[in-house]
Amino acid sequence: MTRSDRDQDTVENLMEIVESIYDQLDKSQIPRMTIPLRTKSNIIFDQRKNVWKYGRSTGARSAKKIRGAKMLLRTLHMIDFIQVMIASSRSSTLREMYYISEGWGNGKFHSQDESNNLAEDLEIVSKCMREDFRLRPEEDGARVIGDLTLIETDRKGKRKTFNCRDDVGDSGYGIPYNVESDKLELKTTGSKFVIAIETGGMFDRLAENGFDEDYNATLVHLKGQPARSTRRFIKRLSDELSLPVVVFTDADPWSFRIFSSVAYGAIKTAHISEYLATPTAEFIGITASDIHNYDLPTDKLTDVDIRALRSQLKDPRFNEPFWRGEIDMMLKEGKKAEQQALAKYGLDFVTDTYLPEKLAQHGIIR
C-alpha cells in the first residue's frame, strides 16, 4: 500500500469516529466511544493469527461525566490535529502532541500519559497504527548489524540502498520510527537467523567478536524494552525474509517481559499484536537453569522481582511448561543474573560456547 493510500484510509477511519459522535449528538444521545479493556484479564490467544490480543470486555469514554466529556473533546482535537499533519505531510513527536494541547482550552492534557493513552485508544477504534497518525516517539528504534540489504526512502522521496554490515559503520544501522514498506524495503539478506539482544554491551560484544559474520546472523539491539519500531522490524524480518528469530536477554522477570513483548505481544499494544509480535521467536536468554549449569555470578531477587515473577505465573503468555519451570526455579533459588555474567569465563565464551550451544539446542545452527 502506498503512502497516499494509507493516508486516505487513516483519514476515513478517523472521520468515522467523528461522525459517530456527531450522530449521537444529533439524536440527543449522550455521546460515547467504546474500546476494549487494556488489562491482563482481557488478553486472549488468537489461534488464527497466533498472537495474544484483547478479548471482548470493553469500557467506554462517555460524556455522561465531566472526565469522559473532556476525553471525547480531546479525541476530536487530536483527530483534527492528525488530519492537519497528514494534509501537510508533517509529523510530530508524542511529546509535542502533549504540549500542543495547551491551546485546546478545557481539552488540554494534564500529563503526557493521558495523551499517549488517547493515541493508543484511537489506534484501537480506528484500526490504524500510530505511525499512520504521523505521531512518533522522541527516540527511534535500536541498532542492527548483519548481512541485510535495505532500501530506505528519505524525507525527499529519494531511495537509498545500503547493507547493514558493509555500509553503516561499527555502530550499525539505526532503525527509524516508521519501518513500513512504503518507507523501508527489505531487499536481500545472507543471514540465516536474527538474534535480538537486550543490552547494548552484549550487542557490542557480539559485533566485536564477529558473531554476525561467523554464524551468518543479523544482530538487533533491543535497548531494553524494545520500541514498537524495533518489534515491527523484527516481525518483518521473520515474515518477509523467513528468518528465524531468537531473543537473548538477562535472567530476571523484566527480561522475560522483554521476550514476551517480542514473541507474544505486550498488553499495552495487544490491539496491534499481529503487526508487532513474532510468535515463532524463541528464547535463548539466561535462565535459572543456566545460572545453575554454568555456575554464573548472581544477584539476589528483590521483593519487586519476586512479585513480578509471581505475577508472570498468572500471565497467560507464560502458561507453558518451560516458563513455569524456569520461573518456579528462580523463585526457589532467589537469584537472578545478567548476560554479562558469562564473562566469568572470558570475553569470547558467549560467542564461542554459550550461544552456539543454545542455538544448536533450538536447531538454529548445526
> 29: which residues sit within 8 A by CB, 6+ positions away?
none
CB 263, CB 281: distance < 8 Å: yes
Contacts of 212 (CB under 8 A, 6+ apart): 145, 146, 147, 165, 191, 206, 218, 219
Beta bridge partners of 150: 162, 186
282-283/143-145 β-pairing: unpaired
Distance in angstroms (rounded) separating the CA atoms of residues 270 and 93: 22
In angstroms, the CA 220 to CA 173 distance is: 9
- 162, three cell numbers: 545500503
| Residue tagged active-site, from 98, 99, 345, 354 | 99
**92 Cβ contact partners less than 8 Å away, ≥ 6 residues apart:** 81, 85, 100, 134, 135, 136
The dihedral over CA atoms of 102, 106, 108, 109, expressed in degrees to the nearest 10, equals: 140
Q: Give the position of cell 536447531.
A: 363
281: left (phi over 0), alpha (psi -120 to 50) or beta: beta
Where do runs of H (alpha helix) occur along the chain? 3-26, 66-88, 94-100, 112-126, 200-208, 211-214, 228-241, 253-263, 273-276, 288-293, 303-312, 321-333, 349, 355-361
Residue 111's identity, in one-letter code, is S
- Active-site residue, 22 included: no
Catalytic center residues: 99
